[in-house]
């Protein structure tokens, strides 16, 4: 519980206010007119659902869930579903807006959406999780679909959860609709490379930034906050590139070893004990401590609001790659920029996930599936192009990479909005 309250109180900013502040800063620089600002500053749709689920003991429990579509001018809404005891509508709105910009930065034809259910999945049995997922999918089925809004995994949701959503939606339609969600298991229309996609994209952007900064990846010390899909796979991929993984963490705390941790063994420890804490002879560090250990590259891969004005002055890394969405507050951004710490923003760094989700959706619609090498090559092309465009804009405008990524993304969404015109 102590850990939980630390996680909760450290957040200084409401994520939605943070997302709007980031938007405003980029819109100012772009000199976006007031009409476009008003349209892009708010989500298109916010759905709140309260739904009953029968628990294993026969009792009925009512859950609350959300699905938000921020913008669909460039294509269907796209974004994950989060299961978390503390998820709020404002958090989902922020995540949906970030998805709009993320899809635009990597120039894939999607808008932004996000969903969430207030629950602690660790307290639910597998059968309860399935019933809750299927009922939530039914409640949001009025707005999701392969041509309108395509969910995917996020914190605490898995390929199995995506399989249940796909099946539920398909039962309602009367035929199989694999393209309604991405991040599915391979056997039912998932894509090769989807599990590793987010971490692969993070690595691709770090490789480009490190080359630019003359920071050799071999031997670079890497600290990672969060040891789930994004964080644990990033640990494996960075380790394979010769980086020294000096620290990792989860909700129970962190571990540090200046000589390096073996990610595969840490993962086994987490699978056996439910946490990375207690692994080998590693030193135990606090949840905050992991962000401040001596390292060259820091990868926040957990949740929002982790790098704040409080700890930004203490960060020792030269390069931060945001695998998580929204880990850095605007105040921390300014401090880090002044200190010369390079931040690869979330909407660029972690866009590998949604990019391979796009590939999965294309494969599902065509019923024609690609080899792993094809997915890898295409992902690399997309990440390289996006990174180069953002880095060039940041250089030309003498701004940080987040501002540049926002300018690029908002410019694309604004152009689509203007071209489509106002209905009616
Ligand atoms: P996950 O549920 O697989 O893992 C989350 C991890 O973070 C867990 O290890 C959990 O213990 C840990 N964690 C949560 N709060 C923490 C805290 N305050 N301190 C330390 N550890 C904490 O989730 P994921 O899919 O890896 O997502 C992690 C982040 O990456 C989220 O911000 C998510 O939005 C973002 N992201 C994920 C994907 C994807 O494809 N999975 C894509 C883009 C962005």
* Ramachandran assignment for 384, one of left (phi > 0), alpha (psi -120 to 50 degrees), beta (any other): alpha
Q: What is the per-residue pLDDT for 9? A: 38
- Candidate of 231, 254, 322 to mutate for ligand 1, largest count of ligand atoms within 8 Å of Cβ: 231
Residues 6+ apart with CB under 8 A from 335: 309, 312, 313
Tens of pLDDT along 219-256? 999 999 999 999 999 999 999 999 999 999 999 999 99
Task: Dump the DSSP string for 182-211.
Answer: SS--GGGT--TTHHHHHHHHHHHHHHHHHH
How far is it, in rounded angstroms, from Cα 62 to Cα 171?
A: 23
**Nearest ligand 1 atom to alpha carbon 197:** 40
Q: What is the per-residue pLDDT for 335? A: 97
Query: Do 44-188 and 197-349 show the same overall fold?
Result: yes
Q: Which residue has the tokens 């300014």?
A: 334
Catalytic residues: 114
Task: Dump the DSSP string for 24-49.
Answer: HHHHHHHT--HHHHHHHTS-SEEEEE
Tens of pLDDT along 83-140? 999 999 999 999 999 999 999 999 999 999 999 999 999 999 999 999 999 999 999 9
Q: How far is the CA of 153 from the centre of ligand 1 (A)?
A: 10
Residue 294 pLDDT level (bands cut at 50, 70, 90): very high
Q: Alpha-carbon torsion 292, 293, 295, 300, what sign?
A: negative
Q: How far is the CA of 184 from the centre of ligand 1 (A)?
A: 18
Q: What is the per-residue pLDDT for 411? A: 98
Q: What is the per-residue pLDDT for 3? A: 31
Inform me whether the pLDDT recorded for 1 exceeds 80.
no
Domain 44-188: state its class: alpha beta
Inform me whether the pLDDT recorded for 6 exceeds 70.
no
State mean pLDDT over 289-310: 97
State mean pLDDT over 378-390: 98
Q: What is the per-residue pLDDT for 2? A: 30
Inform me whether the pLDDT recorded for 180 exceeds 60.
yes
State mean pLDDT over 41-65: 98
**Mean of per-residue pLDDT scores for the chain:** 96
Domain boundaries, the chain: 44-188, 197-349
Inform me whether the pLDDT recorded for 5 exceeds 60.
no
- Candidate of 97, 155, 286 to mutate for ligand 1, largest count of ligand atoms within 8 Å of Cβ: 155
| Residue nearest ligand 1's atom 30 by CA | 324
Q: How far is CA 246 from CA 296, 299, 301, in A?
A: 10, 12, 15
Ligand 1 surroundings by CB, under 6 angstroms: 7, 153-156, 198, 225-231, 249-251, 287, 301-303, 323-325, 350, 353
**Nearest ligand 1 atom to alpha carbon 82:** 34
pTM: 0.95
How far is it, in rounded angstroms, from Cα 89 to Cα 22?
A: 18
Residue 13 pLDDT level (bands cut at 50, 70, 90): confident
State mean pLDDT over 401-408: 97
Q: How far is the CA of 131 from the centre of ligand 1 (A)?
A: 23
Nearest Cα to Cα of residue 237 among 301, 316, 280, 155: 301
Which residues share a beta bridge with 244? 221
Looking at domain 197-349, which CATH architecture does it have? 3-Layer(aba) Sandwich (3.40)
Tens of pLDDT along 102-113? 999 999 999 999
């Amino acid at each position: 519980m102590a850990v939980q309250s630390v996680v909760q109180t450290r957040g200084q900013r409401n994520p939605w206010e943070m997302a709007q502040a980031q938007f405003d800063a980029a819109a100012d620089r772009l000199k976006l007119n007031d009409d476009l600002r008003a349209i892009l500053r708010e989500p298109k749709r916010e759905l709140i659902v309260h739904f009953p689920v029968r628990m294993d003991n026969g009792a009925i429990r009512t859950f609350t869930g959300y699905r938000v579509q921020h913008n669909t001018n460039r294509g269907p809404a796209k974004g994950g579903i989060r299961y978390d005891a503390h998820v709020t509508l404002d958090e989902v709105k922020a995540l949906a807006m970030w998805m709009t910009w993320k899809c635009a930065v990597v120039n894939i034809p999607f808008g932004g959406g996000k969903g969430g259910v207030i629950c602690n999945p660790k307290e639910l049995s597998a059968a309860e999780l399935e019933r809750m997922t299927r009922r939530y999918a039914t409640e949001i089925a009025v707005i999701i679909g392969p041509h309108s809004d395509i969910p995917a995994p996020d914190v605490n949701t898995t390929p199995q959860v995506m399989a249940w959503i796909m099946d539920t939606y398909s039962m309602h339609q009367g035929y199989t609709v694999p393209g309604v969600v991405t991040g599915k298991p391979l056997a039912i229309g998932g894509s090769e490379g989807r599990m590793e996609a987010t971490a692969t994209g993070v690595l691709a952007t770090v490789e480009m930034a490190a080359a630019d900064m003359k920071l050799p990846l071999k031997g670079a010390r890497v600290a990672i906050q969060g040891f789930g899909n994004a964080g644990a796979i990033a640990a494996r991929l960075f380790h394979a590139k010769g980086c020294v993984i000096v620290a990792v963490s989860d909700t129970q705390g962190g571990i540090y070893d200046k000589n390096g941790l073996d990610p595969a063994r840490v993962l086994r420890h987490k699978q056996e004990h439910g946490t990375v804490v207690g692994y080998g002879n590693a030193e135990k560090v606090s949840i905050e401590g992991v962000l401040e250990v001596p390292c060259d590259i820091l990868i926040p891969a957990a949740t929002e609001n982790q790098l704040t004005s409080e700890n930004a002055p203490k960060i020792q890394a030269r390069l931060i790659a945001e695998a998580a969405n929204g880990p850095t507050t605007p105040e921390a951004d300014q401090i880090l920029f002044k200190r010369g710490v390079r931040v690869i923003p979330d909407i660029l760094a972690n866009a590998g996930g949604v990019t391979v989700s796009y590939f999965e959706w294309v494969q599902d619609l065509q019923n024609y599936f690609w080899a792993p090498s094809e997915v890898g090559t295409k992902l690399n092309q997309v990440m390289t192009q996006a990174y180069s465009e953002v880095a060039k804009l940041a250089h030309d405008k003498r701004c940080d990479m987040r501002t540049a990524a926002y300018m690029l993304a908002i410019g694309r969404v604004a152009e689509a909005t203007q071209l489509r015109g106002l209905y009616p």
